[in-house]
Amino acid sequence: MNIKKQSFYLLLIFLYSCASIKAPPGGPVDETPPDIIEVNPPSGTTSLTSNKISVKFSEYMDEKSFKNNIKVFPRLAKPLESKFKGDEVILTFPDSLDSEKTYIIYLNRNIKDEHGISLARTVQLAYTTGDKISNGAIEGKVYGFGDKSVHLWKINNAVIDSLFATQPDYITDVNDDGLYSFSYLAPGDYQVLAVEKSGSGLPLNTSHTGYGLHWQKKLNLAENDTLSNINMRLWKKPAKLKLLRGEWSAFNWGRLVFNNDLPEGITINLQLESDDNIISDSILYYQDPIDQKNLIVQVNDSLILNSLKVNIVSLKFNDELLMDSSEVVIQIPQEPDTSYLQILKPASNFQIFPNTLIIEELDIIFSKPVQLSEDLLLLPKLFKNDSIQVNVNIKQINPMQFQLIPILQWEENEKYQLKINRKCILAEGGRGLKDSILTINLRTTKSIGYGTVTGKISESVHINLAVELFSTKNPSLSHTSFVNLKSQFEFKTIPEGNYSLYFFKDSDNDMKYSFGNAFPNIPCEWFYFYPDTFEVRTNWETEIAPIKLPEVN
């Protein structure tokens, strides 16, 4: 090979190597949200003459993420145009902007950098064609799970009940801490609404979208004023109860499946119909102890039918009609049930938490309705340390659920065994237990202790001020009390753990928080979440430092 050819090949190799230079693999993953480092003309510009706005970011951005995620309010007759340039986007207003008017550009949190990291918060850029820009603000916090947005309408003096069914005048996203803010607002009256992110920018549909109201129907914003703590709680209107289907598991029992959990204590006017006859005698119904969306229906005699029509004339809870006039046709299996009976609860190595105040019941839940033998020697037995028999009572809740209750308290940090004799359990259909003796290992933990929580409001409060104490680990575990005329409150026998408080004005005296209603527009009850957590310890009185509440409007 001559020198010229050799030099040529070396040059190609060199150029190829240079073109292939990349950052070394590995290293820390980029999790830093992109920032805006320059805007030209800057936000807050008055007497706007340029129709182009340049927004430069701290890093290269994902062009696709800009689509439909840049909005202008008030809305323009023609859409805002955008041109993408890596780490910069050029926004172009239409030529016909109204005079003496403030426009706000919103870049929402769906905008991402090239690594897929979203903006940390909604960005608001304000420009006016007049000589003065509005500087009013409305800000607050939205409580609840999931991604959320906030809608804002500028209204006249009258509050419109159907306003939430219209497109909002302004939209902003809620950040990861639940905070939101609207800036550059003109003075006037406003209405505000929090919504699930899926409903952002759309007229409110309460059947599909969770929402949250403020306790004031109308917010009055003065010139250059800021309304803070405009807080809301997100909730979703429960779907109307529906009967989805029925399943017949054996000749004498089956289940009805609903779309929602059934509350305990329901009353049902229920009819079973064959081809020509109504079966009305000895119909037993009870909730499935495992799945609260299921209702077990049981009859005394086997049904020798091909199908069965189940008609729910009415379903009520505390005199409230939850459902009426619903029916379903169920196919009845023609082959006998050959499946073995199973114990769904307790599972092996089940944990029991001894309680210093009461004796905890042990639920025994079967896969199908059963009867217990009348022979006391065959009843389920409980043993401690594999050999010491424990005296118990057995209580039937329904044909699928029994409770075993020790005469004496469970011992903490101890091993137990539950033994069930196959001859003791008579299944309503199909086979019984597979094993002659079924042994389930159990163990107890340290006993649950209890403490007391007391507190005081530092200033006088309105009547009907309720306070709810809730577990930070499981917020559904809560206790409600009232602040008395001495501005004091107390909670007794609270299980040990970490807790916090929130206060609400119980206007309707029902001992629970009312979220209000969008249609018609009924405001929610005033509320305040205490920002600190505290520990409840066994046999201790936890005294909360005097709490100063925001104004109760």
d(CA 437, CA 60): 68
Q: Which of 357, 535, 538 is nearest to 450 (CA)?
A: 538
Beta strands per DSSP E along 300-449: 307-317, 320-331, 343-345, 350-352, 362-366, 370-372, 381-384, 388-390, 392-398, 401-406, 415-421, 425-427, 437-444
Q: In the chain, what percentage of residues exceed pLDDT 90? A: 61
Q: Which of 36, 77, 33 is nearest to 54 (CA)?
A: 36
Does residue 20 have a pLDDT over 70?
no
Instruction: Please indicate whether residue 249 or residue 229 has the higher confidence score (pLDDT).
Output: 229
Q: Which of 226, 231, 66, 18 is nearest to 135 (CA)?
A: 226
Does residue 87 have a pLDDT over 60?
yes
Full-model pTM: 0.79
Q: What is the pLDDT of residues 134-155, one digit of tens each?
A: 889 999 999 999 999 999 999 9
Residue ranges and CATH numbers for the domains of the chain are: 31-133 (2.60.40.1220), 135-237 (2.60.40.1120), 243-331 (2.60.40.1220), 343-444 (2.60.40.3710), 450-543 (2.60.40.1120)
Among the ranges given (212-226, 266-280, 477-491, 527-541), the one the predictor scored with the smallest mean pLDDT? 266-280
| Cβ neighbour number for residue 164 with a 10 Å cutoff | 21
d(CA 138, CA 225): 9
Kindly indicate the confidence band of residue 366, based on its pLDDT and cuts at 50, 70 and 90: very high
Does residue 12 have a pLDDT over 60?
no
d(CA 16, CA 19): 5
Q: Where are the alpha helices (DSSP H) in 393-548?
A: none
d(CA 484, CA 545): 17
> Three-state SS across 8-52?
HHHHHHHHHHHHCCCCCCCCCCCCCCCCEEEEECCCCECCCCCCE
Among the ranges given (25-34, 181-190, 321-330, 460-469), the one the predictor scored with the smallest mean pLDDT? 25-34
| pLDDT mean across residues, the chain | 88
Q: Kindly state the average pLDDT of the residues 7-14.
A: 44
To which residue do tokens 């001894």 refer? 354
Q: Kindly state the average pLDDT of the residues 396-400.
A: 95
Q: What is the pLDDT of residues 467-515, one digit of tens each?
A: 999 999 988 889 999 999 899 999 999 999 999 999 999 988 888 999 9
Q: Which residues, 6 or more positions from 501, have their beta carbon under 8 angstroms from its beta carbon?
A: 455, 467, 468, 469, 470, 529, 530, 544, 547
Kindly indicate the confidence band of residue 84, based on its pLDDT and cuts at 50, 70 and 90: confident
Assigned token pair, 260: 């929602």
Strands 36-40 and 123-128: unpaired
d(CA 506, CA 464): 5
Please report the pLDDT score of residue 211 as a whole number. Answer: 97
Kindly indicate the confidence band of residue 21, based on its pLDDT and cuts at 50, 70 and 90: very low
Does residue 13 have a pLDDT over 70?
no
Q: Which amino acid is at 105?
A: I
Does residue 547 have a pLDDT over 90?
yes
Please report the pLDDT score of residue 17 as a whole number. Answer: 43
Does residue 126 have a pLDDT over 70?
yes
